[in-house]
């Protein structure tokens, strides 16, 4: 996908989205989030995208994340144990204040809708919610309408398609949320809409969003993370700056501090934002297609710069002496979105995401390679070794999380606009 086509969709100012404020966000200081689900959660992609967004958008917020997906799971449990074992070991042990649940892909058995199979799902889901509420009073639960089975870019295997079955399961999840006063996020319909739009743009590339029809690639997970975040009232704005070059003043600054403005043949200023953008790899053609086929940037990733009163002509934007891009005076007057450009802030956020992945990988190894395989070993020597190794891995993960939070703290940057 050409950069220009991405630019066209993301340089629109979504004013309604920019109004969101941190106070509306669902996660609060001190929260611990457990992501629970099957293999799609086990991929640790929509979950790590969500974590990185929170850490970069709210760098002062103390929120921790545990990723507890297990491939093949249903509401009854699966390869990691029964639902009672899974909840005790992989949820309750962490004492979360927030939990997300996405189950259904396996529960529908990959066949046409069957009332008996659905009843098992509905009763099992209700039992799970009851157990969580009983064990963790006051926990805030977000139930997730199951992500799609791709019947858009590939031909359905039976009339109505398997995603039609998942949509019915998702309707139950929505109704359950209403009865139980839970949060709800739809990770199906918006992703289907993006698939349809992507298919119309590039049918072959669109197939790679959910390459095996079940497990999304990074592009599909990014769209899923967006829907979960939007259900949590996540703000679009990183920062918003408006400079009046003719009047030589900062007309507006939100989410940032602007100082040392100088306006002459060149315009320069210093900017210290309160947050970082969400890093998105638009060089990946599949991710670029998914982003262009959705409202991700407009609703979740706006770091805007307007400069009015410029003479006609072309201008080069530099940040910390690095050339970021070239724009006309008219484009700058209308506003540009820095999140889609190779800025130092985007590069810093990408480093934060690497640390997100790193700490999650450590936790995964501790959980799946040590804790679960050896938890039933009766040897006292083995149990001591397990305890010591888990403690060491927990300490290492905590150190990486500390580095992640330090890396997410915004830095001061020098901006310059030079007329060509």
- Neighbouring residues of 362: CB distance < 8 A, sequence distance ≥ 6: 393, 396, 397, 400
131 CB-contact burial (10 Å; exposed 0-12 / middle 13-18 / buried 19+): middle
Residue 420: what pLDDT? 86
DSSP SS3 for 336: strand
CA distances from 244 to 17, 252, 253, 370 (A): 23, 9, 12, 59
Say which DSSP state 268 is in.
Answer: E
Which parts of the chain register pLDDT below 50? 1-20
d(CA 182, CA 172): 13
d(CA 202, CA 213): 17
Residue 22: what pLDDT? 54
401 is written with which tokens? 């999380």
pLDDT tens-digit readout, 125-162: 999 999 999 999 999 999 999 999 999 999 999 999 99
d(CA 59, CA 1): 32
Give me the residue spans of the domains in the chain. 1-21+237-420, 24-231
Residue 143: what pLDDT? 98
CATH number of the domain at 24-231, please? 3.40.50.1110
59 is written with which tokens? 């760098």
Residue 160: what pLDDT? 95
């Amino acid at each position: 996908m050409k950069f220009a086509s991405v630019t066209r969709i993301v340089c629109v100012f979504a004013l309604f989205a920019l109004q969101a404020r941190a106070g509306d966000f669902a996660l609060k200081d001190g929260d611990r989030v457990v992501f629970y689900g099957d293999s799609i959660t086990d991929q640790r992609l929509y979950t790590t995208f969500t974590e990185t967004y929170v850490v970069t958008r709210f760098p002062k917020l103390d929120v921790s994340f545990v990723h507890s997906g297990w491939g093949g799971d249903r509401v009854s449990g699966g390869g990691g144990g029964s639902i009672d074992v899974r909840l005790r070991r992989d949820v309750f042990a962490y004492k979360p204040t927030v939990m997300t649940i996405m189950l259904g892909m396996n529960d529908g058995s990959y066949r046409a809708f069957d009332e008996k199979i659905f009843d098992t799902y509905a009763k099992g889901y209700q039992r799970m919610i009851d157990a969580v509420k009983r064990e963790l009073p006051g926990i805030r639960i977000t139930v997730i309408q199951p992500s799609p089975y791709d019947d858009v870019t590939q031909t359905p295997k039976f009339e109505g398609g398997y995603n039609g079955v998942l949509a019915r399961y998702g309707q139950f999840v929505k109704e359950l949320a209403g009865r139980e006063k839970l949060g709800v996020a739809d990770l199906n319909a918006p992703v289907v809409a993006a698939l349809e739009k992507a298919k119309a743009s590039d049918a072959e590339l669109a197939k790679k969003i959910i390459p095996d029809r079940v497990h999304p690639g990074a592009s599909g997970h990014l769209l899923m993370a967006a829907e979960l975040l939007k259900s949590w009232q996540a703000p679009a704005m990183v920062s918003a700056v408006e400079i009046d070059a003719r009047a030589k003043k900062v007309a507006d600054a939100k989410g940032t501090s602007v100082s040392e403005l100088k306006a002459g043949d060149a315009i320069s200023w210093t900017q210290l934002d309160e947050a970082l953008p969400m890093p998105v790899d638009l060089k990946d053609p599949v991710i670029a297609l998914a982003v262009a086929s959705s409202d991700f940037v407009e609703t979740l990733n706006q770091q805007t710069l307007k400069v009015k009163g410029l003479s006609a002509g072309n201008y080069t934007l530099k940040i910390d002496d690095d050339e970021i891009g070239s724009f006309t005076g008219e484009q700058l007057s209308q506003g540009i979105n820095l999140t889609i450009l190779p800025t130092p802030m985007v590069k810093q956020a990408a480093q934060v995401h690497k640390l997100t992945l790193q700490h999650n990988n450590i936790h995964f190894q501790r959980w799946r390679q040590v804790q679960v395989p050896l938890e039933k070993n009766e040897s006292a020597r083995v149990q001591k070794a397990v305890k010591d190794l888990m403690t060491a891995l927990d300490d290492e993960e905590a150190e990486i999380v500390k580095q992640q939070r330090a890396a997410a703290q915004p830095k001061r940057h020098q901006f310059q606009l030079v007329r060509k």
